[in-house]
Amino acid sequence: MKPSPHLNLFEAIAQGIIEAPAGDDHPNADRWQWFADLYANRTWGLVAAIDGFPRLAADQIAAACRDTATDTATIEQWHAIADIARTARTAAHSPGLDIAWSAVADTCTDALDHLAGHTFGGLEAILGALDATWHEHDTPIAMSFVRDAYTAWQHRIAPPATSERNVA
C-alpha cells in the first residue's frame, strides 16, 4: 500500500524536515497575523476549506489573533473562543470540522500561553488545520490549500522589495 501524501507531509513537518509556516523562530506578531488568516482567509483559510466552518466564528478568531499580534488581546477573549470551540466540536457534522475546531482549541491554548508570557509553538494548530483540510478534500484540492497557506507565510516574511530606480 502506498503511503498517504498528507501523512508524509505531517511526518516531515513534525520531524522538522519541512519547516512549518509560522515557526517559533519568527516574530510573534507575524505569526499571529498568519494564524488570523489560517482561520479567516477567504481563499485558503479554514473558512474556505472546511464546509460548515462559520465565517462569523472565523472572523472572531482572526480578530483575537490580530489583537494578540498587537498585544491587545485579553484572556477573556480567548476563553470565549475556547468555549465556542468546545461547543462546536460536540455539534461537528464531519471529522474535518471536528478537527478544525480542535485546531482552534490548540490556538486558544497557545494564545493563553503567549498572554501569560510563555513561548508558544503553534504546530498542533497548524497540523490540525492541515489534517482538517485533508479530511474534507481529495489530495489535489487539499494540497492547493496547503500550498496557498505556505505561500501566504512566505509573502509575510519576505523582505520588502527594493527599488532599482535612482532618485535624482
Q: From CA 102, how far away is CA 141, in angstroms rounded?
A: 21
Q: Is pLDDT at 38 greater than 70 in this prediction? A: yes
The model carries a pTM of 0.89
pLDDT at 130 over 80: yes
Q: What is the per-residue pLDDT for 164?
A: 55
CA torsion, points 148, 152, 158, 163, in degrees to nearest 10?
90
Using 50, 70 and 90 to split pLDDT, how confident is the model at 1?
very low
Residues 74 and 116: their CA atoms lie apart, in Å, by 10
Q: pLDDT digits over 64-121, tens only?
A: 999 999 999 999 999 999 999 999 999 999 999 999 999 999 999 999 999 999 999 9
| Mean pLDDT, the chain, integer | 92
Model pLDDT, residue 15: 84
Instruction: State pLDDT tens for residues 25-35.
Output: 999 999 999 99
Rounded CA separation 44/151 (Å): 10
Q: In the predicted model, is pLDDT for residue 139 greater than 60?
A: yes
CA count, 13 A, side-chain hemisphere, 13: 22
Average pLDDT over residues 121-136: 95
The percentage of the chain sitting over the pLDDT mark of 90, rounded to a whole number, equals 79
Check pLDDT > 50 for residue 2: no
Question: For residue 56, what are the CA distances in angstroms to 1, 19, 52, 81?
Answer: 41, 30, 11, 12
Judge whether 32 and 69 are in contact, CB under 8 Å.
Answer: yes
